[in-house]
Each structure stands twice: as C-alpha cells, then as structure tokens.
C-alpha cells in the first residue's frame, strides 16, 4: 500500500523548459572493435569497408569519423556481405537464409544507413503449378554480377539462381541446375558421386557474361550467361574450398581441403581440362588443414602474390590461425592469436589497368583487424586509426580526463609515436579512406584511459567518433615475472619452418594476474599519474620526453597496523626488479608503494599540489608523500568479523563450518523478522483506509509516495572494511574560520573518516613545497545510520559548486572556490545522497534513492550541463547510475530530481560496473569485452557521426515502393531503446541547438565551469564489489528487433509515430 501526502503545487513550466535545454539522452556511437564479427566486405571504388556480426549488426567504416551502423530485424548471424561497387549499397546474407539490401542514403548533405529491401528465400518445394522454380535450399555463396543489377546465388543443392537487385526477387528462367552441368561432363566423371554444394562463384573482370562455378566435389566450370551453356570444364577430384580468377582471365586458382592449391589454364583451346598446370601443398608433405580462401594478385614489377588462409600442418600447427603471403621466393606465415574470419586486398579494379598491384592486405580476425602494407619491403603493419581492439588484454578499469592541455596532448602523441615507429621507406597510409567527416574539430581534447589485466594502461583519443590509440604504458617491466622466458621460447620457435611472424596485438593471456590494473588517476596539469594494481602495488609515475635508466624507490605500508587475529591467505606481493632499469619515453615510475597485506587496491586519489597520494584496500587506507617518499598515514578499517577480507580476490578457499554458521544465522534472522511483520499486519487496514480518505483531495496537487523504510545493514557483514572512495579537499574541518587540506575516506559499512592534513605551504612563486613532513590528524568520523556503502564524497564551496582540481585555481584555469561562505560535504552512498554542513557535519539535505525507486547506486559523478539556448548558462548536477541501469540527474546542492533515463539493461552487470561519466555530461560503458557504448545526458555536448559519401549512380525510384516500413522507435544493438529527447523538426533537420556540428562540444570556458569529478566519476572498475569476481568475459551483447539507425546522423528523424508518418508522406 502507498500513502500520499501533500507537497508543492505542479511543476514549474519555466523549469521544465530549462530542463529540455540542459538535458537530453542520446546513445551516440560505439567505440572499439565489433563483438563476434562474422563477415567482411570492401568497396574498392568508394574505399569503404563493412563488418557484420553474429548479433545481426552491420558496421560500415571509411575515413576516420565516417561510420554507419545498422541492425537487422531478426538478430541472426551475418554470413556474407557484398558491396555493389560505387553505389553505396550492401547486400547481406544471414544464416536464416534471408537476403537484405542496405543503402547509404544521402539527405541534406549528410548520409545514414537504411535497410531498403529484404527477401526470405524459400526453402521448401513450391507446389503451385504457376511457378517453375525448383526448391531453393540454403544459399552457400553470393556473386554480384558486374553486367547489371543481378546477383548469382549458389546453393547446397548445386543450383545457381539469379536475383534482381532492384526488387530483390528471383529471376525465373535463368536458373542453372546441376543437371545442365552434368550433361557437359565425361561419362566416367558423371557416374561418380554428386557435384555437391556450390562452394565458389567468381566473375570475369573483362567479360562479365562469364561465371566461374566451383562445386564441393572439385569440379570447376565456366558458364556463359549469353550462350547459356558450359564453355570450359576443369575436372578436379579434391574437395574444393575456394576459387580465384586471375585478372586477365587466363588463370584459375583453386584451394582444397587437403591443404593444397592448384593452378588451371583458362585460356587453353580445349573445352575439357583434365589436369592443372601446377599443384602444390605449401606446408606438406604431412597432412595439412584446408586452405579456406585463396587470392591471386599480379604485379607490374613481376612476381604475383598468392595469399591464402589455413593450410597448416595438421599435427604440428593445426591450432594456429594463419594467413600466408607468397611472392616469388618470399613466403611469410602471418600468425594471429584469434580465428581468421575473412581478408581482402586493396588493389586496382579499373578495367584499363593491366595489373592488380595490391597496396594493402586487410585481415579480419575474431578479435581485431590487421592491415599490412604490401608495397613496403617486409610488409609492415599499418596502424589503425580506429577499430583498435580495446580488449587486447581484458579491461579491468577505465577513467576519463576532459579538457586535456595541448602541451600534455602533444607529449603523449610523441611518446606513442616513439613506441611504434614506422619504417622510413613506408609510404602507405590507412587504405580505407572513403567518405568525408563533416563534424567540426572538437573544441576540447578528451582522454579515455583503460587499465588492463596484463598491467598496461592504454591512452585513447576520445575527442571524436573514432577512438584512436595514442600511447600504451606497461608496468610489468618493474616486476620480476616469467615474461622474458616466454619471449625467448617464442623467438626460438619462430626460427623453424614454417616462417611464422607474429602479427596483431590481441593477447588475452596474462603472465601474472597480480599485474592487473585496478585504479588509475591522472593529473593533466603536472603530467603525473597513479596506477594501482591487484597485488596492492601503487605506482606514482611522471611523464618524460626522453628515455632514461633509473632505479625506482620502493616503500611498503602495513594497513593492518599490527592488528592481531588477522592472517592474510591470499596471493603474495609482486617482487620488484632491483637496480636501475631502462624506461622508454613516456610515463616513467618514480615511486612504488606496496600495501600490506597485498590486497587489490579499491580506491585511489592524487593531489599533485600537495605531493600526496591516497589509496585504499579491503583492509584500510593510507596516505603517502611521494615528494619526500615517506608514509603519512595508515588506518585500518577492518571489523573484527571481516575474515573474508583476509582471503583475497584470488583465493577461493572458504571454511565450510563458517558457511554453515552464516546460513543458519540468516535463517534465524528471517524467522524473527517474519514474526515481527505478522504482528504489524493489522496496520495494513489502517493504511488502506487512510489512502481512501486522501483520494478526496484535488488531483492537480502534486503528491509523492512516502519513502519505504531502509533496513540498516549489520555491522557483521563481511567486507565491511573495504574502502570505496578517497577524496582530497581544501575546506573547513576544525572550525569555520581556518580552512586547510583534508582527506575523506568512505567505506563499505557506511563510515566516513575525515583527516586534517598539515601540509607545508609552498614558497611564493614556487609550486614545490618545502621538504617537511606532512602530518594527519583525525578530524571527523561519520557513521551513516543505514550503513550503506559510501560510493563517493565531494566538498562544495560557498556557492554550492565542487572544488577545482589541483592547480586549476592557482594557474587561473578555473574560478577560485568561494572560501567565505559555509562549505558543505556531499556524501553519496548506495542508497541515498546527503549534504552535511561544515565544519559541524550536520545534515542539511538528503534524497533517499532506494526508498523512492528501490534501487542501488553504482556510479556517481558531478557534471556540468551547458544550455543549448544560452551560451553562458550552465548547471552543475549530480549524475548517478543505478543497478537497474537507469541514469538519474539531481541538482546540486538541493538534490532535486531533474531527469532520469533508461540507459543499460539491468541484466548487463558488467556494463553497469564499467560505466564512467565525463565532466560534461557524457559517459561510456562496455557493451561487450571489446566495445564501449558512448552516451550523452547533455542536450548540447553530443559526439556522434556526421559524415557524407560521394555516391554517383542513377538511383531507380521504382525501388522505393519496395522499401521497408521503418519503425519510429530506434533500437540499440545491445537491446536498449535509443530514447532521443532533443527537439527535432518533421523534415528531419536538426534543431538549432544541434546545428553546430556533432564534434563541437561548445562548452563554456574552464574559468567559469570547473567541476571536479568525484573518485568514481572519472574511473570505473569492471567489478561491483571491487574484488574482481565479475570478469569481462561475462558480458554478452543483447539482441533486439528493429532497424538500428541511432548512428545515422542528426538528419535522421526521431519523433513520434504520428510525426513519422507525416514526415514520410512528405
């Protein structure tokens, strides 16, 4: 039963209008590598590439920033994809035997991807006497015929059907049945086994009327469409896998299931070819795996290319994923760490050109895309400006840094270029350059940092649509591991035959799970950062432009403080390497702090102006002075019953006796609470009567439900001592007159510790403080009554704004905080938000989210929301993500609810755990181990694709009558509806608020808007309990019905069904 009480009158119309100008929810772009790719296509004329996935998604990529995305209605696996060259149209074949025609549609100077036609191929015999088509079994291969808008479909039954591409219907009277081919074969070959399925269809570049057909049995035929007869027959007996027709049409190359390939003469006078001119097994003579695909490319300089996948010796290297490149006497076996999906070459397709002259080889793997430069000796890899595998090692945490200074950006780019220098002789750049990015240059640079399981931190350019890798930091070299031994073994194996060459960066295996990065923090003004790991290691690093060889100072801090009765049962700490170590240009470690016990770091914060770093584990927290390289504070937060905290995330040993004891305690508590509820059952009648009485009041008065009761958590809960957040602030703690440095720490049991820090002040004109010890004194200790875990803590100045970051105010990069009025501290727990006045720490405002919504807070952030109507107006609000996947926005410091949106599916636990907010109202979360979904809560700050494609072909207007009926609801590939609240006109043009370009954030200057993100606002771990129990492999892509067009640029209509129908009529 719900009881109601009076509150204020209805909503303020002026405030509702202001909300529309400040807040709007968009899912804008997906960063990273598509999850579970299944098909690949390339348009050599438009220079665009398409990737299909098992979930039915279609991604088209061109130049950096040019992206188009679609999703099939039925979320089936995309089996094959084929571009109609130069037309911007794509034909897809799904594993449910359906064909779909997609088109990149230009509109008002921009373009988006639409599904125009679909056709479900019949799979059963047709008994209607009017139809002369035989039964159509499953389609195995598709060929787009070059002489017109037709497609040839090879089937399992051995028939070849022809399809009209304008209407996507089968053409009757042109079907090639296996019987017609059998009549052209010798009697001895015809009497054998059946031809089998059609394995390959190839067109003739010079004569489009001819089609090369390959059957599974090994038979190859050249079929003339004009004469409707077999021109030439190649009698092969080995099971066929793939075919390639050489450019001039004089040579045919076939690959087979026994690991061999054969070369057949196609220009011989005889119509019957019995034997190939050459047949070879590259990795024989022992049994080999099948060569799945083969390409033949000729060169003007002489020495053709033969490129094939598979064919490895079955016994020795049958588990390798390889693509072999053979030119003259040079053979390179490209060894990948994931399965090969498909590959293509970028070469000339003009009819007047005599040679292919391939420029690049693109290989789509299950976990990454690799492009090789074939025009440079050694065939080096070409760095990808996008589609980088985020999960080359599993992502364990993430953080976002906004408004990166230009100097730091240039230094990071320079360090990244030194890590992977390109050969001086290389002239090839990224070959997929189709389309034009129309988005304006972003007004500010954004960094996305990802921590990984192998101890690396990767820096990504997250300023625009394309997530570009900038720099990679590795911490493994600081510790003694088995990496060097493994590398030497791999090098020794590479000297043998076959000539393996490791290619790609996907490496899911970690030499030591203790290297995993749990937390990262970066100061963008001093180029210092902190990297904290799974084994209690805390690294303080500084950016250097030149390589150096130096020793790293090592210190240890015992967070247990010699407390008796606790014994660590988890993993050991990492052993640091001794002596000077060589460090490349980039971030170089200065100090290593080892926490004892070596539990995973759960919280970290850095204050470069004071020279302090704070870190927390499941046992307590500590403060370290990295300038003097000495400890400042160590505080144990363990409860006497926190024995689980001593087992560690890598220990799965648990006492059976203790488990039984805890189970019986829960049963006993539930029985007691059940008796109490029975006693109070009579009160339900009184509540019902009260509700009926209150229904007589006017309905125009806004009412709110009474908050449900939040049961306080027991102090005996395990892991209650986990430190969830840490925060440095210059505020009033001792009295209302003197302010100074403070440290705030929040725990899993709802405790907040506030320490006053005595930090020596730096001399005037100097940023470096004196070499004096820093002291810490406990000033306040707050215990939340409901004992919910504290997610974040932040201090608000006299104007209710968050304090600026270190050096922001002193360097005039942000408005100085108001130190005259009374400060307040905002404490966000999993169940409620509460504002306390300082220094008395008395409650001022609170909002019980769990009491209203019945959900738990997972992530929070303070963000600045700029208005689309007024350039200078902005509000600082609190954004939070709940365990139900909803995003809520609250005003600060009033904590009034503003808007809320459904963002992530509540079943997607890993996606919720990986979410990270930005300072300007955007966010990222993992929709798969390799993809970040980007979303925006701001009506002004939106990053989405805005691009065009130069398509020159006469579009037939008759095909519009076959166009699919689109649903006005836009769906995301992960199953969450794309809710668009930005105002739109019916003709599809963007509102004036959106007309300034997708890449332009149009933020007010940092001097007027400078909120500081909370500890959880700029970083996100992939585990909810910070112990590493949830792995990113548990992430699964959702599936949904309906076209997926939310990336189809601002010109795409987003409105109501009625408006959509009206717009379509126009």
pLDDT in tens, 255-272: 999 999 999 998 877 788
Give the model's confidence band at 736: pLDDT under 50 very low, under 70 low, under 90 confident, else very high: confident
In this model, does residue 1044 exceed pLDDT 60? no
User: To which residue do tokens 């460090």 refer?
Assistant: 583
Mean of pLDDT values over 1042-1060? 36
Cα-Cα-Cα-Cα dihedral sign, residues 25, 31, 37, 39: positive
- pLDDT value for 701: 36
User: To which residue do tokens 């009184």 refer?
Assistant: 686
- pLDDT value for 1058: 41
Mean of pLDDT values over 516-543? 97
In this model, does residue 342 exceed pLDDT 70? yes
Residues 717 and 822 sit within 8 Å (Cβ to Cβ): no
- What's the chain's average pLDDT? 82
Q: Which of 216, 286, 288, 285 is nearest to 254 (CA)?
A: 216
User: To which residue do tokens 């760095």 refer?
Assistant: 383
In this model, does residue 506 exceed pLDDT 70? yes
Provide, rounded to the nearest whole percent, the portion of the chain with pLDDT above 90.
60
Q: Which of 529, 513, 532 is nearest to 521 (CA)?
A: 529
- pLDDT value for 194: 85
Region of poorest pLDDT, from 290-299, 408-417, 953-962, 1043-1052: 1043-1052
CA distance 815 to 936: 25
- Name which residue leads in pLDDT, 342 or 707: 342
pLDDT in tens, 295-314: 999 998 888 999 999 999 99
pLDDT in tens, 826-857: 999 999 999 999 999 999 999 998 877 789 99
pLDDT in tens, 424-462: 445 568 999 999 999 988 888 999 999 999 999 999 999
Q: Which of 208, 99, 225, 209 is nearest to 163 (CA)?
A: 99
In this model, does residue 137 exceed pLDDT 60? yes
Cα 1035 to Cα 449, 909, 912, 1032, 1044, distances in angstroms: 20, 8, 10, 5, 20
CA distance 1064 to 1066: 5
- pLDDT value for 725: 97
How much is the pTM?
A: 0.83
CA distance 458 to 798: 38
Provide, rounded to the nearest whole percent, the portion of the chain with pLDDT above 70.
77
pLDDT in tens, 183-205: 888 888 887 678 999 999 999 88
- pLDDT value for 271: 81
Give the model's confidence band at 421: pLDDT under 50 very low, under 70 low, under 90 confident, else very high: confident
Give the model's confidence band at 371: pLDDT under 50 very low, under 70 low, under 90 confident, else very high: very high
User: To which residue do tokens 């904290």 refer?
Assistant: 532
- pLDDT value for 138: 92
pLDDT in tens, 599-628: 999 999 999 999 999 999 999 999 999 999
Mean of pLDDT values over 960-982? 38
In this model, does residue 36 exceed pLDDT 90? yes
Give the model's confidence band at 646: pLDDT under 50 very low, under 70 low, under 90 confident, else very high: low
CA distance 890 to 876: 9
Residue 886, burial from CB neighbour count under 10 angstroms (0-12, 13-18, 19+): middle
């Amino acid at each position: 039963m719900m009881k109601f009480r009076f509150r204020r009158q209805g909503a303020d119309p002026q405030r509702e209008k202001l909300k529309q100008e400040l807040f709007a929810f968009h899912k804008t772009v997906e960063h990273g590598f598509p999850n579970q790719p299944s098909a690949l296509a390339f348009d050599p004329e438009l220079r665009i590439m398409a990737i299909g996935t098992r979930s039915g998604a279609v991604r088209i990529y061109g130049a950096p920033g040019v992206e188009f995305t679609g999703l099939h209605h039925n979320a089936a696996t995309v089996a094959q994809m084929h571009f109609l060259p130069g037309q911007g149209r794509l034909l897809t074949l799904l594993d449910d035997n359906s064909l779909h025609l997609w088109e990149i549609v230009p509109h008002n100077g921009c373009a988006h991807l639409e599904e125009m036609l679909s056709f479900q191929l019949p799979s059963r015999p047709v008994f209607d006497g009017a139809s002369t088509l035989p039964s159509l079994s499953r389609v195995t291969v598709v060929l787009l015929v070059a002489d017109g808008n037709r497609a040839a479909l090879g089937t399992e039954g051995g028939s070849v059907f022809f399809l009209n591409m304008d209407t996507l219907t089968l053409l009757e009277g042109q079907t090639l049945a296996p019987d017609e081919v059998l009549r052209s074969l010798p009697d001895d070959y015809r009497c054998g086994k059946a031809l089998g399925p059609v394995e390959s269809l190839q067109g003739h570049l010079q004569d489009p009327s001819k089609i090369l057909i390959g059957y599974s049995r090994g038979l190859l035929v050249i079929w003339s469409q004009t004469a409707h007869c077999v021109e030439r027959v190649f009698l092969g007996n080995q099971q066929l896998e793939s075919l390639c027709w050489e450019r001039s049409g004089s040579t045919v190359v076939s690959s087979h299931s026994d690991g061999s390939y054969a070369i057949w003469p196609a220009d011989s006078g005889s119509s019957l070819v019995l034997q190939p001119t050459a047949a070879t097994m590259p990795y024989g003579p022992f049994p080999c795996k099948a060569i799945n695909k083969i390409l033949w490319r000729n060169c003007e300089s002489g020495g053709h290319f033969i490129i094939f996948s598979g064919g490895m010796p079955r016994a020795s290297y049958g588990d390798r994923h390889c693509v072999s490149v053979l030119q003259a006497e040079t053979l390179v076996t490209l060894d990948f760490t994931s399965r090969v999906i498909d590959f293509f070459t970028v070469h000339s397709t003009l009819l007047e050109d005599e040679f292919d002259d391939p420029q690049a080889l693109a290989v789509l793997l299950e976990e990454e895309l690799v492009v090789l430069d074939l025009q440079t000796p050694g065939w080096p890899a070409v760095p990808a400006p996008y589609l980088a595998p985020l999960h080359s090692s599993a992502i364990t945490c993430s953080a976002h840094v906004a408004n990166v200074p230009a100097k730091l950006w240039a230094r990071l780019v320079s360090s990244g270029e030194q890590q992977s220098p390109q050969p001086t002789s290389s002239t090839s750049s990224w070959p997929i350059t189709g389309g034009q990015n129309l988005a304006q240059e972003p007004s500010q640079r954004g960094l996305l940092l990802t921590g990984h399981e192998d101890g690396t931190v990767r820096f990504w350019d997250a300023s625009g649509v394309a997530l570009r890798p900038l720099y990679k930091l590795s911490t493994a070299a600081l510790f003694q591991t088995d990496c060097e031994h493994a590398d030497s073994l791999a090098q020794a194996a590479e000297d043998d035959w076959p000539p393996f060459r490791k290619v790609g960066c996907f490496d899911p295996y970690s030499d030591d799970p203790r290297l995993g990065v749990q937390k990262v923090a970066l100061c963008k003004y001093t180029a210092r950062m902190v990297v904290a790991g799974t084994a209690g290691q805390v690294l303080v690093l500084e950016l250097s432009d030149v390589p150096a060889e130096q020793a790293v100072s090592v210190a240890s801090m015992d967070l247990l403080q010699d407390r008796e009765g606790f014994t660590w049962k988890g993993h050991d700490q990492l052993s640091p390497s001794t002596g000077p170590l060589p460090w490349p240009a980039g971030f170089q470690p200065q100090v290593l702090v080892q926490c004892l016990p070596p539990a995973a770091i759960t919280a970290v914060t850095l204050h470069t102006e004071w020279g302090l770093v704070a870190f927390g584990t499941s046992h307590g927290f500590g403060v370290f002075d990295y300038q003097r390289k000495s400890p400042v504070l160590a505080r144990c937060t363990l409860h006497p019953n926190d024995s689980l905290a001593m087992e560690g995330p890598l220990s799965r040993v648990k006492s059976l006796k203790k488990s039984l004891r805890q189970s019986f305690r829960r049963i006993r508590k539930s029985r007691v609470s059940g008796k109490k509820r029975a006693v109070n059952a009579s009160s339900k009648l009184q509540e019902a009567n009260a509700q009926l009485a209150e229904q007589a009041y006017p309905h125009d008065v806004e009412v709110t439900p009474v908050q449900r009761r939040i049961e306080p958590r027991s102090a005996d809960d395990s892991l209650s001592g986990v430190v969830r957040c840490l925060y440095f602030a210059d505020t009033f703690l001792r009295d209302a007159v003197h302010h100074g440095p403070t440290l705030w720490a929040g725990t899993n049991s709802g405790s907040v510790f506030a320490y006053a820090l005595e930090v020596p002040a730096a001399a005037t004109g100097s940023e470096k403080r004196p070499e004096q010890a820093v002291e810490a004194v406990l000033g306040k200790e707050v215990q939340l009554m409901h004992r919910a875990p504290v997610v974040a803590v932040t201090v608000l100045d006299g104007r209710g704004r968050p304090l600026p970051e270190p050096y922001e105010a002193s360097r005039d990069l942000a408005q100085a905080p108001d130190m005259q009025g009374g400060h307040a501290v905002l404490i966000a727990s999993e169940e409620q938000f509460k504002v306390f006045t300082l220094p008395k720490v008395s409650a001022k405002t609170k909002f019980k989210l769990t009491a209203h919504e019945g959900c738990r807070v997972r992530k929070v952030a303070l963000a600045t929301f700029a208005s689309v109507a007024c350039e200078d107006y902005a509000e600082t609000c609190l954004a939070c993500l709940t365990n139900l996947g909803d995003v809520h926005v609250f005003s600060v410091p009033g904590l009034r609810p503003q808007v809320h949106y459904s963002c992530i599916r509540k079943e997607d636990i890993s996606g919720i755990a990986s979410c990270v907010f930005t300072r300007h109202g955007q966010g990222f979360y993992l929709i798969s181990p390799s993809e970040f979904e980007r979303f925006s809560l701001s009506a002004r700050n939106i990053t989405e694709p805005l691009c065009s494609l130069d398509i020159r072909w006469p579009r037939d207007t008759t095909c519009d009558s076959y166009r699919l009926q689109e649903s006005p609801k836009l769906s995301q590939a992960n199953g969450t509806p794309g809710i668009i609240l930005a105002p739109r006109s019916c003709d599809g043009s963007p509102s004036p608020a959106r007309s300034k370009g997708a890449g332009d954030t149009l933020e007010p200057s940092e001097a007027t808007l400078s909120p500081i993100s909370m500890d959880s606002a700029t970083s996100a771990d992939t585990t909810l309990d910070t112990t590493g129990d949830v792995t990113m492999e548990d992430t699964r892509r959702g599936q949904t019905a309906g076209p997926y067009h939310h990336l189809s640029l601002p010109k795409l209509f987003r409105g109501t069904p009625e408006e959509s129908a009206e717009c379509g009529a126009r």
